[in-house]
Structure 1
């Protein structure tokens, strides 16, 4: 049955689930070109129903392995005006399509520069040796020449990016690990009125980069602070509890544990890439960039490599500030001299 019949009466349809199921079957049958043509037909109008079927076409093309499917998904995403959908297309393609189907398409970089910028760094996350490919290196050079934001990211992963949890995509939804949240707390002893001698510093602007989407897309709140301590200190519950942090105000248990740079990067990447209660995040490519920005700021705002020299901690609390649903995050970093501390806390709820 011709797929173009799916556009008939679509704007008045109460439910498009059957149309979406037809799209999925067509993708499985190898009818990539017909699906692309249907997408162009649907774009001649505007409605919630059309948009839902268009999204399913993009998903079905990107997630069904095959050279034709990958090529038509790229063609469709290349003319997409929604930046979030472009990022999604790149993530889907990188997760499902073999490299031999994707790399030849990189010659079309000029027709879809943002798509290939995202696709390049989505692929870097999944293929550690990708940076050796000439097609990818050429795109990276274009990004550098154009001062693209993603150009600062290398085509290899740093040592402490070895544990990043990448989403698993499917036509029935997305699954991913959430490395933050209220968790189990041992109930650390707190001292009401305890204050640590310190001078508050101006927190780097990019400190909040990884979690800004929690506030922009959902109900999140964020606290980002920086302090210079009067005397060297250990990064523990007593230190954090004595700085007057808003997120720790009032009653509630506080749990602090030492963390590695790898653990911190995993948390920041998940916060940026996969999002919050009502937000879907910024995807893998920009998620990595935003995690880098927050981690660099936490490490003093100079170089991402300085993260290796810092003392790191992850913390959570049952205070009124944290929603204690699923999206609770607390990160602290102490400089090698044990005098300068940066803190990032975020929480969100549905």
Structure 2
């Protein structure tokens, strides 16, 4: 099979079937072995090209100035590079651009649809990256006109074109050409604490989880997007209205995986939080991701944070972001941690969120963990 090194393909297509029929399966196996080796080498070469290309894109994106932007747009528009990794995804490139480039340069170059017709996905993400960073889009005509030109079917079209008060205090990663640093969801604050006294009751609540598949998927949207290790969501309808100060004692008794194994004296800490603080936690979860991922960046982080807020607050399906914000402000929000088996209690890698509806008859819970 020495000649197989020179023309392996002709041997595969010309002899594999014949040799098998002649009772020589070892020959066919050897063909497969050589193909597997060549495939592995080719895959690694492709990965190396992807790493190199992602680095080139990063250099152009992080070098301020219109000259770099023009060359980057030309590369992305003409070659339309795709990758299985995150380094070439439009949402990642958009995040780099928003962090390192001047808004005037971005508006004049990236948002020129006549010059770069294939960059709508990059523009869609970059627009919301800039909104989140407090850019007044009305001051830049290309940005002001983008909501009228963007594809109406795009998922990001649901988001508002101006910054909500909920979104005024968000964290972003810090990137350089060869490195990056990021934060994560906030730890349980000392203010607003409502820890229930111990020992707590060991009696389990008779309430049952009524979350439908759609409601569950909406609540966990941000955590799922951030690719955290494990998460869960539950919704309970109460027999009668309760006050917010009754929630801390009720939560540990509910039939939820995240509090299984929590004894009467096990640590259960909880604080009431403003709704915008919960939104920021969800945004960090989705946008920056877990320990082994890079998240979905700012634009889609914004989208999935609002989706999770909608599910937790019980906002109707199809509602606008403004409706979600209004509904969320009527709810009472809680942030909790526990020494239950489900959590690992690593810093910024475990949290629980609970919300009591405006009528005080519905409790929704989201729990997330991102440890091994």
Task: Give the TM-score normalised by structure 2.
Answer: 0.75
Q: Distance in 2 between matches of 1:166 and 1:266?
A: 11
- Aligned partners of 1:273 and 1:288 also within 8 Å: yes
Q: Please tell me whether residue 99 in structure 1 is matched to residue 103 in structure 2.
A: yes
- Which residue of structure 1 aligns with residue 48 of structure 2? 49
Q: Deviations over 1:41-66 (max 9, x none)?
A: xxxx9533322221211111111111
Tell me the CA shift for residue 174 of structure 1: 2.0
Q: Gapped runs of 5+ residues in structure 2?
A: 1-43, 317-322
- Pairing of 1:295-334 with structure 2 (within 5 A): 295-302=309-316, 303-305=323-325, 306-325=327-346, 326-334=348-356
- Aligned partners of 1:225 and 1:343 also within 8 Å: yes
Q: Distance in 1 between matches of 2:341 and 2:350?
A: 12
Q: Distance in 2 between matches of 1:88 and 1:190?
A: 48
| Secondary structure at 2:220 match in 1 | helix
Task: Give the TM-score normalised by structure 1.
Answer: 0.80
- Aligned partners of 1:164 and 1:265 also within 8 Å: no
Sort the Cα spacing of 1:190 and 1:248 in 2 relative to 1 into closer, same or farther, 3 A: farther
Runs of 4+ in structure 1 off by over 6 angstroms are: 182-187
Sort the Cα spacing of 1:276 and 1:142 in 2 relative to 1 into closer, same or farther, 3 A: same
1:264 to 264, 278, 281: 278
| Secondary structure at 2:269 match in 1 | strand
- Aligned partners of 1:199 and 1:230 also within 8 Å: no
Tell me the CA shift for residue 183 of structure 1: 8.2
- Aligned partners of 2:185 and 2:280 also within 8 Å: yes
Tell me the CA shift for residue 237 of structure 1: 2.0
Q: Distance in 2 between matches of 1:188 and 1:86?
A: 50
- Which residue of structure 1 aligns with residue 147 of structure 2? 140
Sort the Cα spacing of 1:316 and 1:241 in 2 relative to 1 into closer, same or farther, 3 A: same
Equivalent pairs, count: 302
Q: Deviations over 1:122-156 (max 9, x none)?
A: 1111134124532123322233x531100011121
Sort the Cα spacing of 1:183 and 1:263 in 2 relative to 1 into closer, same or farther, 3 A: closer
- Aligned partners of 1:188 and 1:253 also within 8 Å: no
User: Greater CA radius of gyration, 1 or 2?
Assistant: 2
Tell me the CA shift for residue 334 of structure 1: 0.8
| Secondary structure at 1:62 match in 2 | helix
Tell me the CA shift for residue 192 of structure 1: 4.7
- Which residue of structure 1 aligns with residue 253 of structure 2? 242
